[in-house]
Structure 1
Amino acid sequence: MRLVLILVIVALLRPSEALAADCTQPAAPGVDWQRCYMDGRDFTRHDLTGARLRETSFQRARLGEAVLVKVDAYRVRFISAVLAGARLDDGLFADADFTKANLGGASLVGADLRRARFFNASLRGADLSGAKTLGAELLNADLSGARWTDGKTICAEGSLGQCN
């Protein structure tokens, strides 16, 4: 009985993952926007370092030159979003959808991109050094001039769907 009481007290004192995100909070480092709809909004040059963006939708959003370093963006949707020049270093983007997104010149150094979808996306000149890409789908993705995951190989002009 005493053990059950202690466990209940510990559970009540610990922050709960079940708390709802506040989708009305302004863009800032560490913001919690889990399961929010940010479709079509402009976050150009905003700093979202360490933000919680799980399952959030950024369809057609503008995030050019935004800082998305160390974000938790599991299953986020960046469909047709502009992320040109953005920094996505060391972020969790597993199962994310970047279909038709513009990631030209973006930095994805050390990013977890496992099972992410990049159908018809532009990764021209992007830096994928150290990124985890197991299971990532790159159908018709433009990798021209991108730095590949080994940190050394530069993809040839016309590299579509794979780094040549």
Structure 2
Amino acid sequence: MDWRRCLQDGQDFREADLSGAVLRDASFSRAKLAGAKLAGVEGPDVRFTSADLTGADLSGAVLRGADFTRATLRDASLAGADLRQARFFRADLRGANLQGAELGAADLSGAMLGGALWVDGQRRCAAASVGACERE
């Protein structure tokens, strides 16, 4: 599926299987993607601003420069995802799996990380972690 530069703002994709889709420069602002399968998507510069990605599977996705500002990613899997230069300003990543994810130059300002499995696969972020993964 090739949705490059498509506008999907506010659309309902709950539980949808979008695995392997091309989402480069697409916009999913305020979209409902809870439980969606987005494993292996190619989505550099995709916008998920204020989207609900609760429990979504984004494992192995290429999301360099993606915008997750104020997005909900509770219990989502971002394992092995390329998140370099992604923006997670005030995003909710509580309980998310970040094992093996690449976060180089990612903006985690204000991101809630409590209970998230950190990139090393060993450490869980303390419940009060905001903006950085603090040890419990």
TM-score (norm 1): 0.81
What's the offset of the Cα at 1:101?
0.0
Structure with a larger share of its residues in helix? 1
RMSD: 0.3
Tell me if 1:145 matches 2:112: no
Quick check: 1:100 aligned with 2:70? yes
**Residues 1:163 and 2:128 are matched in the alignment:** no
Find 1:109's aligned residue among 69, 79, 87.
Answer: 79
Which structure 2 segments of 5+ residues have no match? none
1:135 corresponds to 2:105? yes
The aligned counterpart of 2:43 is 73
Larger relative contact order (CA 8 Å, sep ≥ 6): 2
Residues matched between the structures, number: 134
Query: Structure 1 CA distance, aligned partners of 2:108 and 2:74?
Result: 15
Tell which structure's C-alpha radius of gyration is larger.
1
Identity across the alignment (%): 53
**Structure 1 consecutive aligned stretches of length 4 or more whose deviation exceeds 2 Å:** none
Shift of 1:126: 0.1
Q: Is the partner of 2:95 in helix, strand or coil?
A: coil
1:123 and 2:86 matched: no
Task: Give the TM-score of the pair, scaled to structure 2.
Answer: 0.98
- 1:35 corresponding residue in structure 2: 5
| Aligned residue in 1 for 2:27 | 57
Structure 1 distance, partners of 2:122, 2:96, is 13
1:48 and 2:18 correspond: yes
- Map of 2:59 onto structure 1: 89
Letter in 1 for 2:15: R
Measured in 2, the distance between the counterparts of 1:108 and 1:157 equals: 19
